[in-house]
Structure 1
Amino acid sequence: MKAIIFDFDGTLADTLPICYYAFRCVFKEFDQKNLSPEEIKLMFGPSETGIIRENLFNINKEQAIEMYYKKYFENHSQLVKQNKDIDKLIKHLKNKGIKLGIVTGKARRSLDISLEALQMESFFDVIITGDDVKKPKPNPEGVIKALSVLDVQNDEAVFIGDSDADIHAGVQANVYTAGVRWLCNYRTLEFTTQPNRIFNNVPEFINFINMGVLNES
């Protein structure tokens, strides 16, 4: 195993609350809609800008996008906290010489806000955002692009995510898939596309890595 590629929201950071909050503010302000987290979750796939452009009825979409980022930035520290287990995991993998990547549907702008706030910006060898692909997850385009940048084969990498779209993208890219439910606000209770392995906490995955099980699977 040479590389581990992560989803971001709900996998590397518990950012779903800030995403829900910012979207609720936007749709309340511009469409007078009170959206639930479940309704917002159904829109996931495109980047935040794509979600707003595709789902907002109000014609002032660029203003709505700016409002989303304003709310996301201003409330990030209140709604998103650093996770010591995740920080330990990332540093552990880097120390082992494993290449790290992110493939996320988030736009680059919001991801940069989160990475800086959580002091993660220097750890990743490749970052593919929703701005960098034509087809978001569950399409494997982002995972395949990350593999190419990392210069690793699909049988040398793992893709980790908390949603069906993540696992489906990983399966289509023919990489080992890990479904995770280790943050409070993960997205999938039961995966419809079965990952190779499911992890309910970060120490379990660290032990799995240390045992070299991925190399044998």
Structure 2
Amino acid sequence: MKINTVLFDLDGTLINTNELIIASFLHTLDTYYPDTYKREDVLAFIGPSLRETFSSMDLERTEEMIQAYREFNHAHHDELVQEYETVYETVEQLAKQGYKLGIVTTKARKTVEMGLDLTKLHQFFDVIVTIDDVEHVKPHPEPIEKALRLLDANPATTLMVGDNHHDVLGGKNAGTKTAGVAWTIKGRDYLAAYKPDYMLEKMSDLLTIL
């Protein structure tokens, strides 16, 4: 069956928010746990929701820490976020060719809008499912299934593209095809271990695959 729908994760997939996320975690953790966390310690926090990460540290102060993280994140957003090569051209091409396009992310909507406005990618997506729209986050199938419903799409003809095991497993759980991105900050081998159907070296590889 031919793929006619492509769902993307946002951070680390469409836009390079890695430095922003790492800086936001280090700022927050330094406030609450001075001199405890280093850069390499926070890589594990990329992917899960903020609530999942911070509640495992301190249930009492979870909301407070999320707030501190988001304030720093929004304040430094535009200076630290960058585009990945070939993303804009590829997404633009897919939109022109009539693919149904959606974003499924574990971020809050406000931050998502900031990233899409900055990169001008907003115009190409019919559907954006954020953490504000669901009960469960990836790898639970709910956010992907929600995007499929909104796009009136069939999982069998859908490809889920992401930089984290949450994306690959979420796609598998929802019954879609999956693609990992080799530029994931966690390293290509880490992602390959979850056996996505495809591995993209750069986003424009999608045009060949599809």
Q: Report the TM range for the smaller structure's normalisation.
A: 0.7 to 0.9
* Shift of residue 36, structure 1, vs aligned partner: 3.2
Find the residue that maps to 1:75 and give its secondary structure: helix
Return the match for 2:20 from 10, 15, 18.
Answer: 18
Given that residues 45 and 53 in structure 2 are in contact (C-alpha distance below 8 angstroms), is that contact kept between their aligned partners in structure 1?
Answer: no
TM-score (norm 1): 0.84
Residue 86 of structure 2 corresponds to residue 85 of structure 1: yes
Query: Deviations 1:38-93 (Å, cap 9, x if unpaired)?
Result: 43232344433x14641443845444333222221222222212345111011101
Does residue 41 of structure 2 align to residue 42 of structure 1?
no
Aligned amino acid, residue 31 of structure 1: Y
The worse-fitting range, judged by mean Cα deviation, of 73-82 and 10-19 is: 73-82
Deviations along 1:133-182, whole A, 9 cap, x unmatched?
A: 2222222211111111110111121101112221111111111111111x
Task: Report if aligned partners of 2:54, 2:65 keep a CA contact under 8 Å in 1.
Answer: no
Task: Find the aligned partners of 1:137 and 1:82 in 2 and give their Cα distance.
Answer: 23
Alpha-carbon distance in 2 for matches of 1:171, 1:203: 23
Unpaired runs of 5+ in structure 2? none
Q: Report what 1:187 is aligned to.
A: 186
Are residues 194 and 111 of structure 1, via their aligned partners in 2, closer, same or farther at CA, if it must alter by over 3 Å? same
Name the counterpart of 2:207. Answer: 206
What secondary structure, in the 3-state scheme, does the structure 1 residue paired with 2:123 have? coil
C-alpha contact 2:6 2:161 (8 A) present in aligned 1:
yes
Q: Does the 8 Å contact 1:7/1:161 carry over to 2?
A: yes
Conserved in 1, the CA contact under 8 Å of 2:9 and 2:161? yes
Contact kept, 8 Å, 1:44 with 1:51, in 2: the verdict is no
TM-score, normalised relative to structure 2: 0.87
Tell me the percent identity: 28
Q: Mark the CA change 1:131 to 1:34 in structure 2 (over 3 Å): closer, same or farther.
A: farther
Map of 1:213 onto structure 2: none
Task: State the distance in 1 between where 2:46 and 2:16 align.
Answer: 15
Distance of 1:111 and 1:134 partners within structure 2:
18
Aligned AA (2:17): T
Corresponding position of 1:212: none
Output the amino acid matched with 2:185: Y
User: Counterpart of 1:21 in 2: which secondary structure?
Assistant: helix
**Two-structure CA RMSD over aligned residues (Å):** 2.1
Which residue pairs with 2:161 in the alignment?
A: 160
**Aligned counterpart for 1:7 among listed residues 2, 6, 9:** 9
**Secondary structure at 2:6 match in 1:** strand
